[in-house]
Amino acid sequence: MPETSSPFALNSKIALITGASSGLGRATAEVLAECGAHVIVNHCKQPEAAAVTAESIARNGGSASVVEADISSESAVNELFGQIQREYERLDILVNNAGITKAQDIFTTSLQDWESILAVNLTGCFLCSRGAMELMRRQKSGRIVNLSSVVAHQGSLYGPVHYAASKSGILGITKSLARTGAPLGINVNAVAPGIIETELLFRTHGEEGVDKLAAATPLGLGKPRDVGLAVAFLSCEASRYITGTTLDVNGGLYFR
């Protein structure tokens, strides 16, 4: 991509996006690459899907690499950030996107279900943020964008308490790290998507459920790219005076 002096540009920035093999992660990776960043596409046991993300970026003139790591594992995350340090000597942007859920309510959620969701969604965010901030404080600059959800504000519409808890916890992490990061030159923010048209949405809610959600949203279903654009804004110079905030991308589904 040609370099530009625009405050929205991410020229030569190194960006790690967790869970970037599909959905919101893939769309965000594509947008950041369009803005000029080199994108590290993280996946966990989805090499073919991650390769599709990297190939899509390359076809559009962007730069990307693929790395496998289970972000719920402390040792795997430590190795991931060690690899980034060795290969790039810096990290400018971390997008904590990786997340999982199950269509369950409190009566069907086992302790194992609860722990598995929080391990990826919440512990993964903590581990990757810690690793990123260790690199960023050395360079005295960096951006972290955490993917939360509208359910952090209003609760899960159909009952997945583990998912709502994890996404609410991410907002607490965001605010705490924003305070820690500010003196170090690190901005930390969150994006809270509403009803976004992804494969995961249809798997968890079914076509009829998705239609109901779309009808309840003034702007209808969002697209993954809508979220990617919000992340790009929080990753660039244009948002230099924003930290500790949550950007709602929900098409009017929920107002705060």
Mean pLDDT of the chain, nearest integer: 95
Q: How far apart are CA 215 and CA 158, in angstroms?
A: 16
List, for residues 18-63, the tens digit of each pLDDT value: 999 999 999 999 999 999 999 999 999 999 999 999 999 999 999 9
Which helix (H) or strand (E) element contains residue 74? Answer: helix 74-88
Count of C-beta atoms within a 10 Å radius of residue 58: 12
Q: How far apart are CA 78 and CA 89, in angstroms?
A: 15
Answer whether 3's CB lies under 8 Å from 12's CB.
yes
Residue 211 CB contacts under 8 Å (≥ 6 apart), including other chains: none
List, for residues 143-168, the tens digit of each pLDDT value: 999 999 999 999 987 779 999 999 99
Q: Which of 158, 163, 241, 254 is catalytic?
A: 163
If you write DSSP's letter for every residue of 125-181 in order, what string do you get?
HHHHHHHHHHHHHHHT-EEEEEE--THHHH--TT--HHHHHHHHHHHHHHHHHHHHH
What structural domains and CATH numbers belong to the chain?
Answer: 14-248 (3.40.50.720)
Residue 3 has pLDDT above 70, yes or no: no
Query: Please, which residues bridge with residue 143 across strands?
Result: 93, 187
241 belongs to the catalytic site: no
List, for residues 165-197, the tens digit of each pLDDT value: 999 999 999 999 999 999 999 999 999 999 999
Q: Tally DSSP H helices, then E strands, for the chain.
A: 9, 7
The one-letter amino acid at 199:
E
The predicted structure's pLDDT at residue 95: 99
Count of C-beta atoms within a 10 Å radius of residue 89: 11
**Helix axes 161-181 and 111-118, enclosed angle (nearest 10):** 30
